[in-house]
C-alpha cells in the first residue's frame, strides 16, 4: 500500500486537473486516515468508467471491481456516480540488465549497487571506454532513456498503458525499447526476447492515436505489444507507425518545409511528406544502422561539443563526419532553427561494430523558420547556446556547392508554408551564405 500522504491536496488537485482536461468535472473525497477513498463524479454515465480507470491508474489508484460496483445518487438535485478507489502499488525492480539484442551487456543489482559488465563490445557509448561504471550512472542512463513526460499528450499515453509515472512500471511495459538502436532493458521479473520485442514493437494503432491527440476513445488494443514512445525524444506529439515517425501537421509542417530546402541544396535531411493532417518522417535507422545523439556521443569523445570531439576522432570516417557536421550547421542556420540542440542531431553508427558512419540526416525542425531568428540555438537544457550564424559564416567557404545551389533555389513550393516575414528572413539567410561562401 502507498503511504496515506499521497492523498493530499496536491495529489487531489493534480487528479482533478487530469480529469477536467478530459472534460470530466470531478469532486474527489477521501476518507480520513484510510488507504481507501471515494471518487465522486459529477453527472456522468457508466460509459466513462473505462476512461476514468485509466486516468486513475496514472496515480497508482484503481477502481474496485473495475468500476462495476457503482451506486448512483442525487445530492441537491445533481446526479452523481460513486465508486470506491484503492491503492495499486507497483513493486520495485531488484535487478536491471542492459541488453543489446539477445546479448547481456551490463547488469545492476539495486540492493548492492553492484555493476557487472557482461560485454564491453556492446556497451552504450555513454559507458564505452570507462574503466569503472557506477550504479548511479547506470540508473541515470536508464532513466533518461524513458523520461519524456514533458511531451504533450505523453501523460495520457502513460495513463493508457497503465504505468503512471513509475520508471519501473514503464520498463516492465516497454523494456526501454527504441526505434533508434538495438538496446533494451530487461528487469528481473519480466520474461521476453529481442525477437518478441521486434515483432510487437509499436503495433497498437489506438495507442498511436492517443499519442497524437491525447484522447482515449478506443481501448481495444492499447495494451498490445511494446511501445517505443517512452524512449522517443522531443516535446511535440508523435507516434511511430509503419517505419515512419508521425507528427501533427499543425506542429510539424516545418519538418516538411525543411526537407524541401535540404533536397534542393544537397544536404542530408530526414525524408518527410504531408499525409492529410499529419506529417510523416521516414525513420532512417534499422537493425544494422543505429543513431547515437550528440548529447551522449560527446561524452564518449570527451568533448564539450560533438564537433570538437569529432576533430580528435581517429576513425576512418572522421573527415566525412566533420564535413557533414559543418553542412548541418549551415543548413540549420539557413532554415532558422533555434532548437538545434544535442538531442536533435547525432551520428549513425554500425550496429555491430559501433564504428561511426556519418552524421545522421537532419531532423526535428518543428520550430524552424523562426521569426526574428538571431542565429542562436540552444545546445541543451542547461542554458548553453551555440551561434549557428558564426558557424555558417566560418564553414560556408568549405561548401561552395551549397551556395551555388542556393543561387537557383526554387521557393515557390516552400513559400506556400511561410508568411511574408519568414520568407523574407529565409531569403536574407540564403544571401548571407552565398556571400560568405565567396569571401
pLDDT in tens, 307-343: 999 999 999 999 999 999 999 999 999 999 999 999 9
Reported confidence tier of residue 13, pLDDT bands at 50, 70, 90: low
d(CA 302, CA 430): 34
The pLDDT value recorded for residue 111 is 82
State the distance between the two ends of the chain, measured CA to CA, in whole angstroms.
70
Joined together, the cell numbers standing for residue 11 give 495529489
Whole-number average pLDDT of the chain: 82
The pLDDT value recorded for residue 269 is 98
The pLDDT value recorded for residue 80 is 38
* Residue showing cell 504533450: 152
Residue 240 DSSP SS3: strand
The pLDDT value recorded for residue 45 is 43
More confident residue, 3 or 317: 317
Q: Express each pLDDT in 116-162 by its tens digit.
A: 999 999 999 999 988 889 988 998 899 888 877 678 888 888 888 88
More confident residue, 401 or 6: 401
Beta bridge partners of 209: none
What phi, psi does 319 have (nearest 5°)? -65, -40
* Residue showing cell 524552424: 368
Q: Express each pLDDT in 49-90 by its tens digit.
A: 555 555 555 545 554 443 334 444 433 333 334 444 443 445
Mean pLDDT across 361-373:
95
The pLDDT value recorded for residue 144 is 87
Q: Which has the closest alpha carbon to 63: 48, 81, 84, 82?
A: 84
The pLDDT value recorded for residue 33 is 28
Q: Express each pLDDT in 191-215 by its tens digit.
A: 899 999 999 999 999 999 999 999 8
d(CA 438, CA 409): 17
The pLDDT value recorded for residue 403 is 97
Mean pLDDT across 240-251:
94
Please, what are the domains in the chain?
4-87 (3.30.70), 95-242 (no CATH), 286-437 (1.10.1070.20)
The pLDDT value recorded for residue 36 is 41
d(CA 57, CA 39): 13
Amino acid at each position: 500500500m502507498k503511504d496515506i500522504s499521497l492523498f493530499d491536496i496536491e495529489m487531489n488537485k493534480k487528479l482533478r486537473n487530469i480529469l477536467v482536461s478530459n472534460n470530466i468535472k470531478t469532486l474527489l473525497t477521501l476518507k480520513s486516515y484510510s488507504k481507501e477513498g471515494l471518487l465522486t463524479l459529477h453527472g456522468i454515465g457508466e460509459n466513462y468508467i473505462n476512461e476514468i480507470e485509466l486516468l486513475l491508474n496514472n496515480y497508482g489508484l484503481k477502481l474496485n471491481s473495475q468500476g462495476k460496483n457503482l451506486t448512483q445518487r442525487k445530492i441537491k438535485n445533481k446526479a452523481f456516480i460513486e465508486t470506491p478507489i484503492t491503492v495499486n502499488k507497483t513493486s520495485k525492480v531488484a535487478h536491471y540488465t542492459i541488453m543489446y539484442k539477445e546479448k547481456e551487456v551490463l547488469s545492476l543489482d539495486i540492493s548492492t549497487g553492484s555493476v557487472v559488465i557482461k560485454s564491453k563490445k556492446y556497451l552504450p557509448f555513454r559507458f564505452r571506454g570507462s574503466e569503472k561504471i557506477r550504479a548511479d550512472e547506470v540508473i541515470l542512463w536508464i532513466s533518461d532513456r524513458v523520461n519524456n513526460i514533458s511531451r504533450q499528450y505523453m501523460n495520457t499515453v502513460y495513463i493508457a498503458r497503465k504505468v503512471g509515472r513509475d520508471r519501473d512500471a514503464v520498463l516492465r511495459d516497454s523494456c526501454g525499447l527504441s526505434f533508434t538502436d538495438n538496446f533494451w532493458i530487461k528487469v528481473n521479473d519480466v520474461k521476453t526476447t529481442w525477437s518478441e520485442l521486434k515483432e510487437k514493437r509499436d503495433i497498437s494503432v489506438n495507442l498511436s492515436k492517443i499519442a497524437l491527440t491525447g484522447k482515449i476513445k478506443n481501448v481495444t488494443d492499447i495494451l498490445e505489444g511494446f511501445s517505443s514512445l517512452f524512449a522517443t525524444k522531443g516535446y511535440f506529439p508523435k507516434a511511430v507507425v509503419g517505419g515512419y515517425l508521425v507528427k501533427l501537421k499543425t506542429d510539424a509542417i516545418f519538418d516538411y518545409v525543411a526537407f524541401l530546402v535540404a533536397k534542393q541544396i544537397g544536404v542530408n535531411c530526414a525524408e518527410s511528406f504531408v499525409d492529410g493532417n499529419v506529417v510523416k518522417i521516414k525513420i532512417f535507422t534499422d537493425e544494422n544502422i543505429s543513431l547515437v545523439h550528440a548529447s551522449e556521443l560527446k561524452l564518449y569523445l570527451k568533448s564539450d561539443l560533438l564537433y570538437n570531439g569529432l576533430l580528435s576522432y581517429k576513425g576512418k570516417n572522421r573527415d566525412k563526419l566533420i564535413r557533414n557536421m559543418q553542412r548541418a550547421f549551415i543548413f540549420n542556420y539557413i532554415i532558422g532553427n533555434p532548437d538545434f540542440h544535442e538531442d536533435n542531431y547525432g551520428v549513425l553508427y554500425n550496429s555491430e561494430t559501433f564504428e561511426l558512419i556519418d552524421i545522421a540526416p537532419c531532423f526535428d525542425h518543428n520550430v524552424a523558420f523562426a521569426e526574428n531568428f538571431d542565429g542562436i540555438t540552444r545546445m541543451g537544457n542547461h542554458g548553453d547556446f551555440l551561434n549557428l550564424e558564426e558557424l555558417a559564416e566560418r564553414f560556408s567557404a568549405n561548401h561552395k556547392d551549397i551556395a551555388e545551389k542556393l543561387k537557383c533555389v526554387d521557393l515557390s513550393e516552400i513559400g506556400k508554408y511561410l508568411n511574408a516575414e519568414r520568407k523574407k528572413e529565409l531569403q536574407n539567410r540564403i544571401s548571407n551564405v552565398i556571400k560568405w561562401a565567396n569571401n
